[in-house]
Amino acid sequence: MTNPADFTLAEARDAVRAKKISSVELTKALLGAVEAARPLNAFVTKTPERALDMAKASDARIAKGEGGALEGLPLAIKDLFCTKGVRTTAGSNILSNFVPPYESTVTQNLWDAGAVMLGKTNMDEFAMGSSNETSHFGPVFNPWRSRSSNANLVPGGSSGGSAAAVSGSMCLAATGTDTGGSIRQPAAVAGIVGLKPTYGRCSRYGIVAFASSLDQAGPMTKTVRDAAILLRTMASVDPRDSTSVDTPVPDYETAVDGGVKGLRVGIPREYRVDGASPEIEALWTKGVEWLKAQGAEIVDVSLPHTKYALPTYYIVAPAEASSNLARYDGVRFGNRARDVRDITDLYEKSRAEGFGAEVQRRILIGTYVLSSGYYDAYYIRAQKLRSLIARDFAEAYKKCDVLLTPATPGPAFAVGSKSADPVAMYLNDVFTVTVNLAGLPAIAVPAGLTADGLPLGLQIIGKAFDEATVLRAGRAIEIAANFDAKPAQWWRGT
Partner 1 sequence: MSVDKDTVRRIAKLARLALDEGRCEPMAQELNGIVAWMEQLNEVDVTGVAPMTSVVEQALKMRDDVVTEGGNADALMANAPGGEDHFFVVPKVVE
**368-387 binders of partner 1 (CB under 8 A):** 368, 371, 374, 377-378, 380-387
- Give CA–CA dist 49/165, Å, rounded: 19
Q: Does 407 bind partner 1 (CB under 8 A)?
A: no
Selected from 258, 333, 419, 491, the binder of partner 1 by CB under 8 A is 333
> Quick one: CA torsion of 312, 315, 318, 319, rounded to 10 degrees?
-120
- Give CA–CA dist 118/381, Å, rounded: 44
Interaction with partner 1 in 448-467: which residues (CB under 8 A)? 464
Of 182, 236, 244, 322, the catalytic one is: 182
Per-residue binder mask for partner 1 (CB under 8 A), 410-439, x = binder? -----------xxx-------------xxx
Q: Does 239 bind partner 1 (CB under 8 A)?
A: yes
Binding residues with partner 1: total (CB under 8 A) = 71
| 167 is known as an active-site residue | no
Q: Does 81 bind partner 1 (CB under 8 A)?
A: no
Closer to partner 1 by CB, 129 or 448: give it. Answer: 129
Q: Does 45 bind partner 1 (CB under 8 A)?
A: no
Selected from 361, 375, 409, 489, the binder of partner 1 by CB under 8 A is 361
Interaction with partner 1 in 201-220: which residues (CB under 8 A)? 213
* DSSP three-state, residue 198: coil
Q: Does 251 bind partner 1 (CB under 8 A)?
A: no
Q: Does 321 bind partner 1 (CB under 8 A)?
A: no
| 486 is known as an active-site residue | no
Q: Which stretch binds partner 1 (CB under 8 A): 137-145, 177-185, 267-275, 350-358?
A: 350-358
Looking only at the bridges linking them, the beta strands covering 442-449 and 455-461 are: antiparallel
Q: Residue length, the chain?
A: 494
Q: Does 315 bind partner 1 (CB under 8 A)?
A: yes
Looking only at the bridges linking them, the beta strands covering 173-178 and 74-78 are: parallel
Which residue from 28, 26, 103, 120 is spatially nearest to 71, judged by alpha carbons? 26
Per-residue binder mask for partner 1 (CB under 8 A), 160-199, x = binder? --------------------------------------xx
Question: How far is the CA of 269 from the CAs of 310, 398, 470, 492, in angstroms?
Answer: 17, 16, 20, 44
| 182 is known as an active-site residue | yes
* DSSP three-state, residue 5: helix
Q: Does 254 bind partner 1 (CB under 8 A)?
A: no
Cα angle 470, 471, 477 (rounded to 5 degrees) comes to 95
Q: Return the amino acid letter for 13.
A: R
Q: Does 273 bind partner 1 (CB under 8 A)?
A: no
Burial of 390 from C-beta contacts in 10 A (0-12 / 13-18 / 19+):
middle
Of 28, 78, 349, 418, the catalytic one is: 78
Q: Which stretch binds partner 1 (CB under 8 A): 119-127, 360-368, 444-452, 483-491?
A: 360-368
Q: Does 93 bind partner 1 (CB under 8 A)?
A: no
Around Cβ 218, how many Cβ atoms within 10 Å?
Answer: 31
Q: Does 393 bind partner 1 (CB under 8 A)?
A: no
**In the bound complex, what is the minimum distance in angstroms from residue 35's beta carbon to partner 1?**
29
Closer to partner 1 by CB, 262 or 275: give it. Answer: 275
- Give CA–CA dist 407/446, Å, rounded: 9
Closer to partner 1 by CB, 151 or 377: give it. Answer: 377
- Give CA–CA dist 215/79, Å, rounded: 14
Selected from 18, 49, 65, 101, the binder of partner 1 by CB under 8 A is 101
Q: Which stretch binds partner 1 (CB under 8 A): 136-144, 166-174, 366-374, 448-456?
A: 366-374
Selected from 367, 419, 450, 489, the binder of partner 1 by CB under 8 A is 367
Q: Does 346 bind partner 1 (CB under 8 A)?
A: yes
Looking only at the bridges linking them, the beta strands covering 116-121 and 43-46 are: antiparallel
Q: Which stretch binds partner 1 (CB under 8 A): 126-134, 167-175, 324-332, 399-407?
A: 324-332
Q: Which residues are CB-contacts of 294 (< 8 A; sequence separation ≥ 6)?
A: 259, 260, 261, 476, 479, 480
Q: 437: which DSSP letter?
A: H
Which residue from 39, 105, 33 is spatially nearest to 76, judged by alpha carbons? 33
Q: Does 340 bind partner 1 (CB under 8 A)?
A: yes
What is the edge-to-edge ordering of all strands in the sheet holding 74-78?
43-46, 116-121, 74-78, 173-178, 216-221, 193-196, 442-449, 455-461, 402-406, 264-268, 297-301
Of 23, 58, 131, 158, the catalytic one is: 158
Q: Which stretch binds partner 1 (CB under 8 A): 22-30, 135-143, 238-246, 398-406?
A: 238-246
- Give CA–CA dist 196/211, Å, rounded: 15
Catalytic residues: 78, 158, 182
